[in-house]
Amino acid sequence: MRGLGNQIAVVLMAGAALLAAPVMRSIVPEQFVLDGGHIDHSIHGPILGDAQSFRRVAAIYTALGLGDQQSLAAMLGIALFIAAMFAAIGWTRIRDLSLVGLAAVAASLGLAAVYLAQYSKEHVTLLLVLLVLLLPRGRRWDLAVPLLCVAYGATLRPYWLLIAVLYLGWRILLSRTRNPLVIVAALALVYALLQPAFQIALGQTLEGMRTWSNEQQANADVATVIDSAFPDATGPLGVLSALIALVFLVIPVPLGSTGTPYYAVSALLIMAIWAVALRPVVRGELITTGRASRAGGARWGADPARPGAAPIGTPGASQGSGVRTARAVSLLLALLVVQAIFEPDYGSYLKHLTPMLPLVLAALPSGTDRSHAAAVLFPDARAARRQERSARHRPPVRAHRPRPSAPPVTSQIGGTP
């Protein structure tokens, strides 16, 4: 199903998620709506001293007139997600999504209905994601992404200050290489630099925050807890522990090996999310220098209206000459690096990942991307196909046949020719 059928299917799925938003709190299990309950408590009742982020989010809802309108707030959250989804994919590009792409859209809307149809701090994350997707192309606008992260970190979630710095690092690194050894070395360097910073600033090991959080959650589901490989390790062993945690966030073997079908499906869903998000990295579609760039990768901040810019739809060039996809993947990887340090369990991990799903959808391949990729990588074939199409639509040319010569004229007078 392609073309208009795709667009109708996506609109119907989005409409169903929006209509289901007001009743989702009464359908999903209690553990999925704990944050909504905390924020509602912050709006109407006494506030615990350590719930400052909940107080601030509660103040936002109150200022918007949604203090007693949690169902309306739920619909607002889903509406923001739908807007970010369309900003990520684009209305026209939906026509070219494959069945896998449509399944990704359906799964994303399903997760949004579960985690965002309530009072939630993730609505603020979602607003940041929408702004990132709507930013104009151009190198100077890349700096707006870390500024948004800094604003978010300063008001609600301090670890987004770290995400702001990591985003810039990934944005630069991924534009130059897809070598897995370089990427792993960069990850190890990041954790090696963070390790002493955590010791000085927090008095804890690199993964000490996760250990502390797990100890506080007496009622946490043991099957979803993310355990550190070496909880109190420092030095190279501490860096290795953080890298192992990151791998298990991308490939959640502990979650999938519990033997519970629900957790197995959740593990497959998480792997599918990162398979889509990391695809442009593995294929080198974000590289903007060297041979990869000449083969179709977009220059950082390239404008398709200028000479030398990669055409829209080439690898790394779709969605605004690849800038939107590059920003999306860089921000996702920055979040992943931080989640490997802080996330206590897979439930919280998936909840924090849900408002970022529009960024994953921005990396979805489409039929248009593949056809343009072939055209750029094989220009001679493109010219041959253009010639063939032109010949097919040109009216046939009749072969010229010489007309027979007229018989010699003889004079009727005198009888001689």
Report d(CA 50, CA 55) in Å as an integer.
10
Tokens of 364: 């979805």
Round to whole Å and give the CA distance between 388 and 28.
Answer: 57
Report residue 205 as tokens: 């090991």
Token pair recorded at residue 148? 């948004």
Is the pLDDT reported for residue 82 higher than 90? Answer: yes
pLDDT mean over 18-39: 91
C-alpha 370/C-alpha 96 separation (Å) is 10
Least confident of 56-60, 271-275, 295-299: 295-299
pLDDT given at position 208: 78
Coil, strand or helix at 204:
coil
What pLDDT, in 10s, does the model give residues 152-205?
999 999 999 999 999 999 999 999 999 999 999 999 999 999 999 988 888 888
Q: Are 121 and 157 in contact (CB under 8 A)?
A: yes
Closest CA to 18 of 84, 117, 118: 117
The percent of residues above 90 in pLDDT, for the chain, comes to 56
For the cut 50, the answer to whether the pLDDT of residue 273 exceeds it is yes
Looking at the predicted structure, is the pLDDT value of residue 151 above 90? Answer: yes
User: How large is the average pLDDT for residues 346-370?
Assistant: 86
**Burial grade of 166 (CB within 10 A; 0-12, 13-18, 19 or more):** buried
Q: What is the pLDDT of residue 198?
A: 87
Which residues lie across from 225 on neighbouring strands? 345
pLDDT digits (tens, 9 = 90+) for 308-355: 333 333 333 443 448 999 999 999 999 999 999 989 899 999 999 999
- If pLDDT is split at 50, 70 and 90, which confidence band does 53 have? confident
Q: Which long-range contacts (CB under 8 A, 24 or more apart) does 304-313 make?
A: 310/376, 311/372, 311/376, 312/372, 313/368, 313/369, 313/371, 313/372, 313/373
pLDDT at 279: 94
d(CA 109, CA 70): 19
Strand-pairing partners, residue 345, are 225
Q: What is the pLDDT of residue 140?
A: 85
pLDDT at 365: 82
pLDDT at 80: 97
Two structure tokens written together for 67: 């203090």
- Tokens linked to 290: 């060297």
Given the structure tokens 């991990």, which residue do they identify?
Answer: 349
The pLDDT, as a whole number, for residue 1 is 59
Average pLDDT of every residue of the chain? 81
Q: Is pLDDT of 75 > 70?
A: yes
Sign of the alpha-carbon dihedral angle for 348, 352, 353, 358: positive
**Would you tell me how many other CB atoms lie within 10 Å of the CB of residue 252?**
24
Contact partners, residue 254, CB within 8 Å, separation at least 6: 226, 227, 248
pTM of the predicted model, to two decimals?
0.81
Confidence of residue 206 (pLDDT cuts 50, 70, 90): confident
CA atoms within 13 A on the CB side of 166: 26
Cα torsion 136, 139, 144, 149: sign = positive
- Rounded to an integer, what distance in angstroms lies between the CA atom of residue 330 and that of residue 417? 95
Instruction: Answer yes or no: are the C-beta atoms of 34 and 122 closer than 8 Å.
Output: no
Q: Whose CA is closest to 348, among 255, 233, 279?
A: 255
Confidence bin at 215 (pLDDT 50/70/90): low
Is the pLDDT reported for residue 302 higher than 90?
no
- Cβ atoms of residues 36 and 70 within 8 Å: yes
Question: What is the pLDDT confidence band of residue 133, given thresholds at 50, 70 and 90?
Answer: very high
The CA-atom distances, in angstroms, between 313 and each of 35, 297, 317, 355, 375 are 40, 10, 6, 26, 10
pLDDT of 400 strictly over 90: no
Counting DSSP H helices and E strands in the chain, the numbers are 22, 0
Question: Please, which pLDDT band fits residue 388 given cuts at 50, 70 and 90?
Answer: low
